[in-house]
Structure 1
Amino acid sequence: MTHPSMFDTIFNFLLFISLFTIANHTHARQQPKPSISDSIVLGLTNTRTTIKLPKESSTLNLKVSSQSSQTFDMIEPLREIRDGYIISLNLGSPPQVIQVYMDTGSDLTWVPCGNLSFNCIDCDDYPNNSPMPKYSPLRSSTCTRDTCTSQFCVDVHSSENAYDPCNIAGCSLVTLIKGTCSRPCPSFVYTYGEGVVAGTLSRDTLRIHGSSDRDVTRDVTNFGFGCVGSTYREPIGIAGFGKGSLSLPSQLGFLQKGFSHCFLAFKFVNNPNVTSPLVIGDLAISSKENLQFTPMLKNPMYPNYYYIGLEGITLGIGSGSLIQVPTNLRDFDSSGNGGMLIDSGTTYTHLPQPFYTQLLSQLESVINHPRAKDVETRTGFDLCYRVPCINNLTDGMTIMDLDDHLLPAITFHFMNNVSLVLPQGNSFYVMGAPRNSTVVKCLLFQSMDDKDYGPAGVFGSFQQQNVEVVYDMEKERIGFQTMDCASSSALQQLHKS
């Protein structure tokens, strides 16, 4: 049980930090090679402030621990769970394997941390059958507490004044001016849409394994991360893939290059035999000119997020009707509000009102199947239909995709004439086993919260399934290409050996 005083403390922290939150980041979890290889290949299973680059003293050291190969192509087994995509971090000396969410909508990497316990408040909705491993600082010979003079400490405290964290830590004015204070970085609180975490900023060695030879490892020393001992509604850690200096690709030195991922369909949830490819570095962006690329929109107020511009949505294939979207899905106001956030840490795509209601009305007008309003009430989704099962093809909870054509295709039109037809199963999803030769499918879109700040919409991970998504940081663009991500995983040799 959670002690009431801890509960009150967390909420007081949340109230305080919310006054400084730059955007209401919605975590709706309810997941040929270049001639000179400088990449990391990882497998996926199915706050935020503009600060100067880390000081020289914070520079990370990279080393290859095997002399058998000079390649920097790397691989890690990562898996899909019910509400996101998990990356395994090998952290510490000796390495401790900690599983965390891969999140393009935040910067900080943090892990559940505790030598004795980890406290998660209001996390009853998450299964406790197989609790996630926790990182123990005492078990690592290379773990250190970050200092208040570290630029990462300034970052995590969202401070524009480098003296602030050291002042909070109790350094004297003389040591502040001389830069001689060596006190540890003060504890921080980091907020998400519905959650909050509290912890300390630490450093340790991050180890990544070779893509072709598991004996080849790459050690990243002084990797900065949050050692979190208490959370509210955040039971699993996070690997931040945003643009800030605290993010995983930034600390690995790949932020000026890019990364890509190909999320497995949800039918592979908890399947230990296949993972989603996550590639970081040259390999992620080389030979990708066949993709459709839309520009990354620049938001001067919140530059660490990935924004794209949505121009319209089409229902049906070919002569389907185009629904014009509000301009705030591709434009920002003077306060930085607007645009569409592309976010692997948000499960479902969110659209603003009243456009979201208009989209529902258009879908209702072209779908003739009976509504399953009882399922809508139970699940909270807004459009559910009873769809005939073709040839009664079922396999337990798995339904063949042959009946997907009974519901309209949905195409997203992004800026630069990019048209992404959402793969079958990315819009309407099976909500249970078939009954009486029918199956219930629900539209897995949601309405944005009723607010006038933050992004106007979010392109979530569920709608990115079976789509290769390329973050080309050098050319400041994001590419899309539909593909079978399970086959891509096999080509990347990400199946369990």
Structure 2
Amino acid sequence: MDTGSDLIWFPCTTRYLCKNCSFSSSNTPLFIPKQSSSSKIIGCRNPKCSWIHPNAQCKDCNPSNNCTQICPPYIIFYESGATSGISLSETLNFPNRTIPNFFVGCSVFSSRTPAGIAGFGRGQASLPSQLNLNKFAYCLLSRKFDDSTRSSPLILDNSSGSDSEKKPFIKNPVIPGRSAFSVYYYVGLRKITVGERRVRIPYRYLRLDDEGNGGTIIDSGTTFTVMASEVREPLAAEFESQLVKKMNFSRALGVEVLTGLSPCFNVSSGTTRLKFPKLKLHFKGGAEMAVPQENYAAVVG
């Protein structure tokens, strides 16, 4: 489930190939379009083709003939991988609902990807958009549960009732040449605190301006929180100040050179449970998120 992308795709056809993937493509369930009576290839003139190809060139079509040209193959790039294939129209079945003509990607080649992705972004091809959802909820488990079988529910809601606790996302302005930004969900991050101290971050790096610069997005498909250097550096400096001056830790510069990570600190070998200063994200409207320590501090060695 990826809130930072739109396309819903899965391994497709008996010739599916996945290079440098963490799973065996030979053991991955494959979708075979020929075995589905409701599966159809999206045509080049189909309005849904423009969801992934806004400027699709249907060279073999003209107003006087029936166009048989298919929607051009797609290639979608992710943070560390990519997938490519053809666009299909299928029937999506839920226990109490059926959605015909559902747009999906039939991937025939992938590199460094999971076994399929459900796009949950703002674009027309995403699952929430195609289901006309008013809201959805998914609780991402803490990193400490990576090796467990724990899971969490996904809630898809298309009811029209009001919700007093519902907070709207910030809408990214439509900027020519920056259409990709319209996929993302922006949230109003106002400040970051370490312990009881507010990190000195110029607010212009947190807010979203009229040209689409800055701001904070939620992306469930990205492993790490990524910050601009103007945000990360004062945050790291505040941790260093509190750990060195208040807790008497010293910087492990040798480890930083070897790993490329920073800041790193030397801690007592007899320490079984370290308690770092609490990291909190403060959002517009008063919401606060206390980040679990294991998600921002890792013990090495």
**TM-score interval, normalised by the smaller of the two chains:** 0.7 to 0.9
Q: Deviations over 1:35-90 (max 9, x none)?
A: xxxxxxxxxxxxxxxxxxxxxxxxxxxxxxxxxxxxxxxxxxxxxxxxxxxxxxxx
Q: In the TM superposition, what is the alpha-carbon distance from 1:131 to its structure 2 partner?
A: 4.9
DSSP 3-state at the match of 2:205? helix
Aligned counterpart, 2:58: 166
The whole-number CA distance in structure 2 between the counterparts of 1:380 and 1:132 is: 35
Summarize the Cα distance change of 1:387–1:221 in structure 2 as closer, same or farther, 3 Å threshold. farther
- C-alpha contact (below 8 Å) 2:12/2:108 kept by paired residues: yes
Aligned counterpart, 1:143: 39
- C-alpha contact (below 8 Å) 1:326/1:355 kept by paired residues: no
Choose which of 324, 344, 367 in structure 1 pairs with 2:220. 344
The whole-number CA distance in structure 2 between the counterparts of 1:365 and 1:294 is: 36
DSSP 3-state at the match of 2:76? strand
Is 1:427 the counterpart of 2:301? The answer is: no
* Aligned pairs for 1:90-489 within 5 A: 102-120=1-19, 123=20, 126=22, 128=24, 131-159=27-55, 164-167=56-59, 170-175=60-65, 180-208=66-94, 216-254=95-133, 257-272=134-149, 274-281=150-157, 289=165, 293=167, 295-301=169-175, 302-316=181-195, 319-334=196-211, 336-367=212-243, 368-371=248-251, 376=256, 380-385=260-265, 387=267, 392=272, 403=273, 406-430=275-299
Q: Deviations over 1:187-214 (max 9, x none)?
A: 1222233333221001222233xxxxxx
Q: Deviations over 1:404-446 (max 9, x none)?
A: 5x21111112233433222343322355xxxxxxxx6xxxxxx
Is there any run of 5+ residues in structure 1 with no aligned partner, and where?
Answer: 1-101, 209-215, 393-402, 432-439, 441-497
Q: Deviations over 1:10-33 (max 9, x none)?
A: xxxxxxxxxxxxxxxxxxxxxxxx
DSSP 3-state at the match of 1:250? helix
The Cα RMSD (Å) is 3.1
Q: In the TM superposition, what is the alpha-carbon distance from 1:241 to its structure 2 partner?
A: 0.7
Q: In the TM superposition, what is the alpha-carbon distance from 1:134 to its structure 2 partner?
A: 2.8
- C-alpha contact (below 8 Å) 2:121/2:185 kept by paired residues: yes
- C-alpha contact (below 8 Å) 2:256/2:263 kept by paired residues: yes
The whole-number CA distance in structure 1 between the counterparts of 2:151 and 2:54 is: 35
Summarize the Cα distance change of 1:356–1:202 in structure 2 as closer, same or farther, 3 Å threshold. same
- C-alpha contact (below 8 Å) 1:115/1:137 kept by paired residues: no
Q: In the TM superposition, what is the alpha-carbon distance from 1:298 to its structure 2 partner?
A: 3.0
Percent sequence identity over matched residues? 34
Q: Deviations over 1:316-353 (max 9, x none)?
A: 0xx4234224413212253x232111111111111102
The whole-number CA distance in structure 1 between the counterparts of 2:57 and 2:101 is: 19
Summarize the Cα distance change of 1:294–1:251 in structure 2 as closer, same or farther, 3 Å threshold. closer
Q: 1:383 is matched by which residue type in structure 2?
A: P
Greater Cα offset, 280-289 or 190-199: 280-289
Q: Deviations over 1:70-118 (max 9, x none)?
A: xxxxxxxxxxxxxxxxxxxxxxxxxxxxxxxx00111111112222332
Structure ranking higher on relative contact order (CA contacts 8 Å, 6+ apart): 1
The whole-number CA distance in structure 1 between the counterparts of 2:26 and 2:14 is: 19
The whole-number CA distance in structure 2 between the counterparts of 1:357 and 1:244 is: 33
Answer 1 or 2: which has greater strand percent.
Answer: 1
Is there any run of 5+ residues in structure 2 with no aligned partner, and where?
Answer: 176-180
